[in-house]
Amino acid sequence: MSIILFSFLLLGFDPLKTLDDTSHPSVKNKKFPCPNCPSAFGQKPSLTRHLKYECGQEPRFQCPYCHFRSKKTSDVYSHVRRKHVNYKVFAVDIHGELVKNLLTKTHWL
């Protein structure tokens, strides 16, 4: 009895879980793959945060010169430097614009 228990502790993994992991070779080292996109995470809080704030969310920052959008300003900056050479490097905050418009409306009302 105690020997069996010790064996499980020694192994430290569920054989069925290991088998399941092999079906996702691209996320082999990540224990928590996102069900909605190819992202995977080593820790559950990271996946939870991803689902809450990143996955399925509209990219917030947009290139001022084309329709390119990203969740990170740094991505937009590097995009502008690469695709729109000699243009001013900045990003449009979609949420910021939306808030400003709403404030203007309430001001007029």
Contact residues for Zn ion, defined by CB under 5 A: 34, 36-37, 39, 55, 63, 65-66, 68, 83
Nearer Cβ to Zn ion (14/54): 54
The strand order across the sheet containing 69-70 reads 69-70, 61-62, 92-93
| Minimum CB–partner distance for residue 68 and Zn ion (Å) | 4
Nearer Cβ to Zn ion (56/96): 56
- For residue 10, give every residue at least 6 positions away whose Cβ sits within 8 Å of its Cβ, in sequence order, or none: none
| Minimum CB–partner distance for residue 39 and Zn ion (Å) | 5
Nearer Cβ to Zn ion (21/75): 75
